[in-house]
Structure 1
Protein backbone atom coordinates (compact mmCIF):
# COMPACT_ATOMS: atom_id res chain seq x y z
CA UNK A 1 0.00 0.00 0.00
CA UNK A 2 1.44 3.36 -1.07
CA UNK A 3 0.85 6.10 1.52
CA UNK A 4 1.51 9.74 0.69
CA UNK A 5 -0.17 11.72 3.45
CA UNK A 6 -1.46 11.60 6.98
CA UNK A 7 -0.76 7.86 7.49
CA UNK A 8 2.97 8.10 6.63
CA UNK A 9 5.54 7.68 9.38
CA UNK A 10 5.54 10.62 11.78
CA UNK A 11 2.09 11.80 10.66
CA UNK A 12 -1.12 12.02 12.69
CA UNK A 13 -2.77 8.88 11.27
CA UNK A 14 0.29 6.62 11.16
CA UNK A 15 -1.26 4.47 13.90
CA UNK A 16 -3.68 3.18 11.23
CA UNK A 17 -0.74 1.34 9.63
CA UNK A 18 -0.42 -0.87 12.73
CA UNK A 19 2.46 -3.29 12.50
CA UNK A 20 2.67 -3.18 8.69
CA UNK A 21 6.26 -3.27 7.49
CA UNK A 22 7.74 -0.30 5.63
CA UNK A 23 8.99 -1.73 2.32
CA UNK A 24 10.27 1.41 0.58
CA UNK A 25 10.39 5.18 0.58
CA UNK A 26 9.83 6.08 -3.06
CA UNK A 27 7.84 8.21 -5.47
CA UNK A 28 5.08 7.58 -7.94
CA UNK A 29 5.73 7.62 -11.65
CA UNK A 30 5.53 11.23 -12.94
CA UNK A 31 1.87 11.01 -13.99
CA UNK A 32 -0.04 12.45 -11.03
CA UNK A 33 -1.37 15.80 -9.87
CA UNK A 34 -1.19 16.16 -6.11
CA UNK A 35 -3.93 18.05 -4.29
CA UNK A 36 -4.58 19.28 -0.77
CA UNK A 37 -8.28 18.62 -0.19
CA UNK A 38 -9.73 21.43 1.91
CA UNK A 39 -6.22 21.79 3.37
CA UNK A 40 -6.65 18.66 5.48
CA UNK A 41 -5.54 15.65 3.46
CA UNK A 42 -3.78 14.87 0.16
CA UNK A 43 -5.18 13.27 -2.98
CA UNK A 44 -3.51 11.80 -6.05
CA UNK A 45 -5.09 12.36 -9.46
CA UNK A 46 -3.79 10.38 -12.44
CA UNK A 47 -3.35 12.78 -15.36
CA UNK A 48 -0.83 10.79 -17.41
CA UNK A 49 1.56 13.07 -19.31
CA UNK A 50 2.35 16.30 -17.51
CA UNK A 51 2.07 14.90 -14.01
CA UNK A 52 4.57 14.91 -11.16
CA UNK A 53 6.37 12.21 -9.15
CA UNK A 54 4.88 12.26 -5.63
CA UNK A 55 6.78 11.22 -2.50
CA UNK A 56 5.43 8.40 -0.37
CA UNK A 57 6.02 5.18 1.51
CA UNK A 58 5.09 1.62 0.55
CA UNK A 59 3.92 -0.75 3.29
CA UNK A 60 3.35 -4.50 3.21
CA UNK A 61 -0.13 -4.47 4.66
CA UNK A 62 -2.41 -7.43 5.29
CA UNK A 63 -5.95 -7.34 3.92
CA UNK A 64 -7.44 -7.33 7.42
CA UNK A 65 -5.44 -4.23 8.45
CA UNK A 66 -6.34 -2.55 5.17
CA UNK A 67 -10.04 -3.47 5.28
CA UNK A 68 -10.74 -3.11 9.01
CA UNK A 69 -8.48 -0.23 10.05
CA UNK A 70 -6.92 1.88 7.28
CA UNK A 71 -9.76 2.12 4.75
CA UNK A 72 -12.49 3.05 7.27
CA UNK A 73 -10.26 5.95 8.40
CA UNK A 74 -9.95 7.42 4.90
CA UNK A 75 -11.95 10.54 3.89
CA UNK A 76 -14.99 10.10 1.66
CA UNK A 77 -13.32 12.02 -1.20
CA UNK A 78 -10.80 9.22 -1.73
CA UNK A 79 -11.14 5.70 -3.10
CA UNK A 80 -8.87 2.67 -3.30
CA UNK A 81 -7.05 2.42 -6.61
CA UNK A 82 -3.85 1.21 -8.24
CA UNK A 83 -1.02 3.61 -9.01
CA UNK A 84 2.28 3.36 -10.86
CA UNK A 85 5.48 3.72 -8.85
CA UNK A 86 8.75 5.23 -10.09
CA UNK A 87 10.17 1.78 -10.89
CA UNK A 88 7.16 0.92 -13.07
CA UNK A 89 5.57 -1.45 -10.57
CA UNK A 90 2.03 -0.98 -9.29
CA UNK A 91 0.71 -0.45 -5.79
CA UNK A 92 -2.60 0.03 -4.06
CA UNK A 93 -3.14 3.64 -2.99
CA UNK A 94 -5.89 6.03 -2.04
CA UNK A 95 -6.69 8.24 -5.02
CA UNK A 96 -9.01 11.14 -5.69
CA UNK A 97 -12.55 9.87 -6.21
CA UNK A 98 -13.38 10.42 -9.89
CA UNK A 99 -16.94 11.59 -9.28
CA UNK A 100 -17.82 12.94 -5.87
CA UNK A 101 -20.19 15.94 -5.77
CA UNK A 102 -19.46 16.83 -2.13
CA UNK A 103 -15.69 17.06 -2.59
CA UNK A 104 -14.26 20.07 -0.73
CA UNK A 105 -12.04 22.59 -2.56
CA UNK A 106 -8.79 21.28 -4.07
CA UNK A 107 -5.46 23.10 -4.03
CA UNK A 108 -2.89 21.80 -6.52
CA UNK A 109 0.34 21.17 -4.59
CA UNK A 110 2.03 19.08 -7.32
CA UNK A 111 5.08 21.37 -7.44
CA UNK A 112 5.83 20.42 -3.81
CA UNK A 113 5.41 16.68 -4.57
CA UNK A 114 5.25 15.93 -0.84
CA UNK A 115 2.62 16.20 1.87
CA UNK A 116 5.35 17.01 4.43
CA UNK A 117 6.60 19.87 2.24
CA UNK A 118 3.04 21.17 1.96
CA UNK A 119 2.68 21.07 5.75
CA UNK A 120 5.92 23.00 6.12
CA UNK A 121 4.47 25.84 4.02
CA UNK A 122 1.52 26.34 6.37
Structure 2
Protein backbone atom coordinates (compact mmCIF):
# COMPACT_ATOMS: atom_id res chain seq x y z
CA UNK A 1 0.00 0.00 0.00
CA UNK A 2 1.33 3.49 -0.75
CA UNK A 3 2.42 5.71 2.10
CA UNK A 4 1.34 9.34 2.23
CA UNK A 5 3.15 12.01 4.25
CA UNK A 6 0.71 14.65 5.53
CA UNK A 7 1.90 17.94 7.01
CA UNK A 8 -1.18 20.16 7.17
CA UNK A 9 -4.91 20.16 7.75
CA UNK A 10 -5.32 16.41 7.04
CA UNK A 11 -3.14 15.46 10.01
CA UNK A 12 -4.85 14.07 13.11
CA UNK A 13 -6.98 16.75 14.74
CA UNK A 14 -7.00 18.88 11.58
CA UNK A 15 -10.05 20.17 9.73
CA UNK A 16 -9.48 17.79 6.79
CA UNK A 17 -8.48 14.69 8.75
CA UNK A 18 -11.78 13.09 7.71
CA UNK A 19 -10.22 12.67 4.24
CA UNK A 20 -7.82 10.13 5.74
CA UNK A 21 -10.75 7.91 6.72
CA UNK A 22 -9.69 4.69 8.39
CA UNK A 23 -6.19 4.67 6.87
CA UNK A 24 -3.70 3.44 9.47
CA UNK A 25 -1.19 5.89 10.91
CA UNK A 26 2.30 4.51 10.29
CA UNK A 27 4.44 7.18 11.96
CA UNK A 28 4.72 10.65 13.42
CA UNK A 29 7.91 11.84 11.75
CA UNK A 30 9.72 14.60 9.89
CA UNK A 31 11.10 14.98 6.43
CA UNK A 32 14.82 14.84 5.83
CA UNK A 33 16.28 18.35 6.39
CA UNK A 34 16.18 19.39 2.72
CA UNK A 35 12.95 21.35 2.27
CA UNK A 36 11.53 24.82 2.46
CA UNK A 37 8.11 25.09 4.09
CA UNK A 38 5.55 27.70 3.12
CA UNK A 39 2.14 28.96 4.18
CA UNK A 40 0.38 29.53 0.85
CA UNK A 41 -1.97 32.50 0.97
CA UNK A 42 -2.18 31.81 4.73
CA UNK A 43 -4.53 28.87 4.00
CA UNK A 44 -2.43 25.73 3.60
CA UNK A 45 1.14 24.47 3.88
CA UNK A 46 3.45 23.52 1.02
CA UNK A 47 6.77 21.71 0.83
CA UNK A 48 9.44 22.74 -1.64
CA UNK A 49 12.87 21.18 -2.16
CA UNK A 50 15.94 23.28 -1.64
CA UNK A 51 16.06 24.26 2.01
CA UNK A 52 17.20 22.77 5.28
CA UNK A 53 13.92 22.35 7.18
CA UNK A 54 12.90 18.97 8.58
CA UNK A 55 9.12 19.37 8.39
CA UNK A 56 6.83 17.72 10.94
CA UNK A 57 4.12 15.37 9.70
CA UNK A 58 2.36 12.03 9.79
CA UNK A 59 2.61 9.05 7.46
CA UNK A 60 -0.49 7.01 6.61
CA UNK A 61 -0.93 3.86 4.55
CA UNK A 62 -3.67 4.63 2.03
CA UNK A 63 -5.13 2.66 -0.83
CA UNK A 64 -4.73 4.02 -4.34
CA UNK A 65 -8.53 4.34 -4.53
CA UNK A 66 -8.61 6.44 -1.35
CA UNK A 67 -5.80 8.67 -2.62
CA UNK A 68 -7.40 9.07 -6.05
CA UNK A 69 -11.04 9.45 -5.03
CA UNK A 70 -10.95 11.09 -1.59
CA UNK A 71 -7.69 12.73 -0.51
CA UNK A 72 -6.27 14.17 -3.74
CA UNK A 73 -9.51 15.83 -4.94
CA UNK A 74 -9.61 17.69 -1.61
CA UNK A 75 -6.14 19.20 -2.04
CA UNK A 76 -5.68 22.86 -3.04
CA UNK A 77 -4.73 23.67 -6.65
CA UNK A 78 -1.32 25.01 -5.59
CA UNK A 79 -0.15 21.52 -4.68
CA UNK A 80 0.75 18.46 -6.70
CA UNK A 81 1.62 14.88 -5.83
CA UNK A 82 5.31 14.28 -5.35
CA UNK A 83 7.76 12.16 -3.38
CA UNK A 84 9.64 13.38 -0.31
CA UNK A 85 12.50 11.95 1.69
CA UNK A 86 11.70 11.22 5.33
CA UNK A 87 14.05 11.58 8.31
CA UNK A 88 14.89 7.86 8.23
CA UNK A 89 15.93 8.07 4.56
CA UNK A 90 12.83 6.36 3.19
CA UNK A 91 10.54 7.95 0.63
CA UNK A 92 6.85 8.76 0.77
CA UNK A 93 4.21 10.32 -1.41
CA UNK A 94 3.38 13.87 -0.35
CA UNK A 95 1.75 17.00 -1.64
CA UNK A 96 4.39 19.51 -2.77
CA UNK A 97 4.25 23.08 -4.01
CA UNK A 98 3.54 23.42 -7.73
CA UNK A 99 6.50 25.33 -9.11
CA UNK A 100 4.37 27.67 -11.23
CA UNK A 101 1.77 28.44 -8.57
CA UNK A 102 1.37 32.24 -8.31
CA UNK A 103 -0.33 32.54 -4.88
CA UNK A 104 1.48 34.59 -2.24
CA UNK A 105 3.42 32.49 0.23
CA UNK A 106 5.23 33.02 3.50
CA UNK A 107 8.33 31.01 4.32
CA UNK A 108 7.67 29.17 7.60
CA UNK A 109 10.70 26.87 7.35
CA UNK A 110 12.00 28.04 10.71
CA UNK A 111 8.89 26.61 12.39
CA UNK A 112 8.83 23.47 10.19
CA UNK A 113 5.36 22.72 11.54
CA UNK A 114 1.91 23.72 10.28
CA UNK A 115 0.52 23.33 13.80
CA UNK A 116 3.17 25.67 15.21
CA UNK A 117 2.46 28.20 12.45
CA UNK A 118 -1.31 28.09 13.05
CA UNK A 119 -0.73 28.46 16.78
CA UNK A 120 1.53 31.44 16.17
CA UNK A 121 -0.69 33.21 13.65
The runs of at least 4 aligned residues of structure 1 exceeding 6 Å deviation read none
Q: Which runs of 5+ in 1 are unaligned?
A: none
Q: CA RMSD in A?
A: 0.7
Give the superposition deviation at 1:104. 1.4
Give the superposition deviation at 1:41. 0.2
Match of 1:112 in 2: 111
State how many pairs are aligned: 118
Give the superposition deviation at 1:86. 0.3
Tell me, yes or no, if structure 1 residue 77 matches structure 2 residue 81. no
Match of 1:37 among 37, 40, 46: 40
Tell me, yes or no, if structure 1 residue 24 matches structure 2 residue 27. yes
Give the superposition deviation at 1:52. 0.7
Q: Which runs of 5+ in 2 are unaligned?
A: none
TM-score (norm 1): 0.95
Tell me, yes or no, if structure 1 residue 6 matches structure 2 residue 9. yes
- Alpha-carbon distance between aligned partners in 1 of 2:106 and 2:44, rounded to the nearest angstrom: 11
Tell me, what secondary structure is at the counterpart of 1:52?
coil
